[in-house]
Structure 1
Amino acid sequence: MPSKDERSESEISEDSLRLALERLGANNRKRPNHTMHPKPSSEPRRRRFVQEGQVVVEHHQGSRATQRVSAAPGDDHAEEMNRLRNLLRLEQRRAEDAQRELGDAQVQLRTLETHLVHEKLHVKELKSRCADVEQALLDSQVIVERLREQVAAPKAAAERVAASGEIVVRKTRGPGRPPKVRPPIDPAGEPEPVQWWKD
């Protein structure tokens, strides 16, 4: 069991320690916080001991430097978010412009396809007309050749008759038919006419 001297020494030391700590705390309370800020030190801050029935509440206010440092990442974050939002808006505008241009290009493509189909139909129609005209030309050439043959046949017959002395009797028949040619009459084989008026 401790002696009275030991108890008194421990009480004195404990009481003196409390008083010293209270003085330190009182000095801190007397200093105005808004005029002087404690210099940040590398040593941890001393804490007050709690007496019985007392609750110590400490308010920690960061220094302006720590507030700036803590605010700076938030500002950087806000700036980064604004930058990313602006990039997103820009990309959305580009996407909308690309969609609009795509729609315009599709409309132009449909228009060109329609024009192409119309031109193909027009070309087909022109080809059929050309084929009809070519057929008509071939038919007219055949007719011209037949007419030339028909014109050449009477001339050839007339030349043969003139050369052989044949008499040609022309009868009007339909156009395009050559005239009939009669064989020449032999005057030696013909009988003499009968003179009936003299008997």
Structure 2
Amino acid sequence: MNESAFRQALERLGKGKPAPRGAGGTKAPAPKARPARQADPTQRRRKFVQDGDVRVEHHSMATGRATPRAIHAQQEDRSEIEQLRHKVQFEQKLREQAELRLSEAQAQIRSLTTRIGHADVIAAEHKGKLAAQDTELLAVRADLYNAREENDQLREELARLKSRQRTADPRPAPTQATTPQDGTPADEPEPVKWWLR
């Protein structure tokens, strides 16, 4: 296909009858001149895209009237920007809350570490006291054991001495109870002299 074929096709569409093909004796009538249209600034002249060309349209948002598509695009951009701002604010709040929780957790860890340190010191003191008491208790038990051994030895020695004394001393003869001569019976107790005290 070439350019002349396109022109012939366009001429056929415009006249309603085909154009002569040959260069015979008849002359093709000259195309009627179209009246020139006034250039409308809002209307653009259409261009067809050629192979390899990229059509770029420049829209000025600041000047002129905005098309509904441009207004819709601006609204979409604004709503998307607002959504992103809200997301950023939400993420910032989450971060602040996380940092607050982190600082609280670190404070609790420091507090618990301090308490654990104090508890370790107190436990070490109590262990030391308990060890001292254990050694003291062992010493007291050893002293008590020694005292019991000594007491047992003394009792055995006392029992031996008593048995020796019994065998060594003669027994005195039993004496009869004498009755007092002053006229009081022997079973009557003596009066207490309370005024002498």
Indicate the TM-score class for this superposition, using the shorter chain for normalisation: 0.5 to 0.7
Higher relative contact order (CA 8 A, sep 6+): 1
Number of aligned residue pairs: give it.
133
Q: In structure 2, which of residues 87, 91, 96 is the aligned counterpart of residue 89 of structure 1?
A: 96
Q: CA RMSD in A?
A: 3.1
- CA separation in 1, counterparts of 2:152 and 2:131? 32
The answer to whether structure 1 residue 19 and structure 2 residue 37 are counterparts is yes
User: Residues of 2 paired with 1:133 and 1:6: CA distance?
Assistant: 144
Q: 1:145 aligns with which of 142, 152, 156?
A: 152
The residue that corresponds to 1:124 in the other structure is 131
* CA apart distance, 1:162: 3.1
Whole-angstrom CA distance in 1 between matches of 2:157 and 2:166: 15
Match of 1:48 in 2: 45
**Distance verdict in 2 for CA 1:62–1:105, change over 3 Å:** farther
Cα distance change, pair 102–114 in 1 and its aligned pair in 2 (3 A): same
User: What amino acid is the match of 1:159?
Assistant: R
TM-score, scaled to structure 1: 0.56
Query: Secondary structure of 1:101's partner?
Result: helix
After superposition, the Cα gap between the structure-2 partners of 1:157 and 1:71, relative to the gap in structure 1 and judged at 3 Å, is same
For 1:93-140, what per-residue CA distance to the aligned partner results, in whole angstroms no more than 9, with x for missing partners? 111111111111111111111111111111111011111111111111
**Match for 1:71 among 78, 85, 100?**
78
Say if 1:59 and 1:140 are closer, same or farther in 2 by CA, change over 3 A. closer
Offset of 1:163 from its aligned partner?
5.7
Aligned counterpart, 1:6: 30
| CA separation of 1:134 and 1:86: change in aligned 2, threshold 3 A | same
Q: Secondary structure at the match of 2:44?
A: coil
More helix, by proportion: 1
Q: Which amino acid in 1 is paired with 2:45? A: R
1:140-161 CA distance string (max 9 Å, x none): 1122122222322222111112
State how far apart, in whole Å, the 2-side matches of 1:66 and 1:49 are.
24
Q: Does 2:142 correspond to 1:135?
A: yes
Unaligned runs of 5+ in 2: 1-22, 48-57, 172-197
Distance (whole Å) between structure 1 residues aligned to residue 170 and residue 67 of structure 2 = 145
Runs of 4+ in 1 over 6 A off after TM superposition: none
Gaps of 5+ in 1: 29-45, 51-56, 165-199
Q: Do the aligned partners of residues 152 and 71 (structure 1) sit closer, same or farther apart at CA in structure 2, a change above 3 Å counting?
A: same
Return the TM-score normalized by structure 2.
Answer: 0.57
Alignment pair present for 1:109 and 2:109: no
* Identity, % of aligned positions: 12
